[in-house]
Amino acid sequence: MQSQHIFAATLARTRTIAFVALTVVALLCGSPSHAFAARVFLDPGHGGSYPGAVYAGIEEQYVNHLIALETRAVLQSRGHTVAMSRTSDANVCSSDIPTWHWDETDQQYYLYADAKTGAYPIPYDDLQMRCDKANRWEADVFISIHNNAGGGTGTETYYNSWDTVTDTGPSKVLATYLQQDIVAAAGTYDRKVDDVGYYVIRWANMPAALVEVAFLDNSTDRSRLLSSTFRHKVAVGIANAIDHYLNAKLIRPIEPRIAGATRYETAIEAARSGWPTGADTVLIASGENWPDSLTASPLSYRLDAPLLLTPKAALPASVAAMITQLGAKNVIVLGGTAAVSSAAAASAAHAAGINPSAVVRYAGATRYETAALAAESLGTTPGAGVVVVSGETYVDAVSASSFAAMRGMPILLTPRDSLAAATSAFIARHSAEVTSAVIVGGTAVVSSAVQMALPRTVSVERLAGPDRYATNLAVVKRFWPEGDISPYAATAHNFPDALAAGGLAAKNGQPVMIFGWRYLDKGTREFIMQQNDRLRGWTIMGSYNALDYLLDWELAKARRLPPPS
């Protein structure tokens, strides 16, 4: 077969391959201790129209699948969660989807659909879908299971180093353990580890390895592959290798990170980072619901005021302490008492040393009215325009937050199907100044009817993509087309840490980019790879529970950086 990181000071970026060698030497001995439960993605190679090697009537896809099923059972018995690219003799993908290629002419990566075919010959589409499944599932490791042909015997394992040296860290260690432990458990001949960059191990985001268990064209190997006892031994070897790898704890923070134990503590750390010498004003919004804080970033930037979060009922003591530490003398609450109670607002006032009656509250009957009131406070900048985003979801407002703040553009909210009355009224009141609008989000969240309802005197630009990640990229490409950038990385799946990022990112002139917990979207990975020369690193917003440390590693892999020391 021939087919593939509390805010930390900037962490040391000295990365050396010696780290890997030392790790392998130190950890290659002994049986694995009980590893923490992990998400393991198994990819039985081939299947369906692509049987792989066929000898004596035995198809490679068949034995690959049997080994994967037995490995799944062993891993599950140890408490791991397992997903598979296929669970039957079937194609993983039968359509033309975006796939990766290396263009030798200009040395650039391109992500596109083209029906091209990889080795053996399996369409890249089928291989890419295996990666897509693992990436979306946010696995800890990716293991592709194959069997060999072409003369020979025994086991060999591969990791990728063709296009990135990042894989010479955890991926190489994973491959080394696989080779060692399969040979030890199953008694196969040791054909060693190699660094061939097969497609699936290049384009799976997480540490990945491909193992060739045995040779189908070798009658002895073939007989062993047909033995359930042998396949169980192989499965035990794979499971031992995964436990060895997990116990090595190689996935650690790489990028500086702004994080606290809770969403309230993370917002405090963001304030501490962005306003180290204090702030005259603080913004207070709900940490339990997101609508009122969607419009906070332009106010934060204009007033040089950090955003702090609170539960409805009572202001946390740590938030009160931060208000005092900042030396704030002005408190602005975003939202009504249903979001931030009078008691919480009074506590904020007390921490600032002011009378509760001096607290300014922007609160309308709806989220749309609250946003318009915040916009009135911000005011308009001739020629800057406004931003219109969905008031029914938060993620596009996160993408808009930094550029809107930096350009003095109020963020206005709307339902999907009709322009909010409060938003329409704000634009009408400021018709002389508001001559343009940027809609962030596709028609699934802000419909064409909303766009058509904007005054004809307003020129409209829509920044959108087929999903939240593509929309986020459209924003970054539009407003940060050139020059060095150090983006703030925020979660696409929960609001508090992401909303706290907007004002801080704007203060530092940087975009906010969004990610899954440990999911790096293909389009974002392509952008990082193509724009690596101007990327100067990341600031991760939130704790491990918001953005896993594995994301740090995936970002390093996309940038083709050496593994961290």
- Cβ neighbours, 10 Å, residue 97: 18
Sheet containing strand 141-148, strands side by side: 81-84, 39-44, 141-148, 208-215, 155-158, 190-194
Sheet containing strand 281-286, strands side by side: 307-310, 281-286, 330-334, 360-362
Write out the two tokens for 176: 């080394």
- Cβ neighbours, 10 Å, residue 432: 9
Contact 296, 334 (CB under 8 A): yes
pLDDT at 471: 97
Instruction: Tell me the pTM.
Output: 0.90
Whether 6 shows a pLDDT value over 80: the answer reads: no
pLDDT at 67: 98
Contact 62, 90 (CB under 8 A): no
pLDDT band at 508 (very low <50, low <70, confident <90, very high): very high
Strands 330-334 and 360-362: parallel
Contact 446, 389 (CB under 8 A): yes
pLDDT tens-place string over residues 240-296? 999 999 999 999 999 999 999 999 999 999 999 999 999 999 999 999 998 888 889
Identify the weakest region by mean pLDDT among 62-76, 187-201, 363-377, 488-502.
Answer: 488-502
Task: Return the SS3 of 141.
Answer: strand
pLDDT at 495: 80
pLDDT tens-place string over residues 396-435? 999 999 999 999 999 999 999 999 999 999 999 999 999 9
pLDDT tens-place string over residues 31-85? 565 557 899 999 999 999 999 999 999 999 999 999 999 999 999 999 999 999 9
560's CB contacts (< 8 A; 6+ apart) are 163, 164, 165, 166, 529, 532
Q: What does pLDDT average to over the chain? A: 91
Distance CA 121, CA 217 (A): 19
pLDDT at 563: 84
Whether 23 shows a pLDDT value over 70: the answer reads: no
Bridge partners of 144?
43, 210
Alpha-carbon Rg for the chain, nearest whole angstrom, is: 27
Whether 496 shows a pLDDT value over 50: the answer reads: yes
Question: How large is the average pLDDT for residues 86-115?
Answer: 78
Residue 1 vs residue 439, higher pLDDT: 439
pLDDT at 32: 63
Give the single-character DSSP code of 32. Answer: P
266's CB contacts (< 8 A; 6+ apart) are 258, 259, 260, 496, 497, 500, 541, 542, 543, 546
pLDDT at 211: 98
- Cβ neighbours, 10 Å, residue 152: 15
Write out the two tokens for 555: 């970002």
Strands 190-194 and 488-491: unpaired
Contact 268, 308 (CB under 8 A): yes
Identify the weakest region by mean pLDDT among 15-29, 109-123, 453-467.
Answer: 15-29
Share of the chain above pLDDT 70, in %: 91
pLDDT at 1: 45
pLDDT at 21: 38
pLDDT at 273: 96
Identify the weakest region by mean pLDDT among 73-77, 111-115, 463-467.
Answer: 111-115
Contact 516, 493 (CB under 8 A): yes
Whether 564 shows a pLDDT value over 80: the answer reads: no
Distance CA 367, CA 414 (A): 9
Share of the chain above pLDDT 90, in %: 82
Whether 450 shows a pLDDT value over 60: the answer reads: yes
Contact 170, 96 (CB under 8 A): no
Distance CA 407, CA 384 (A): 6
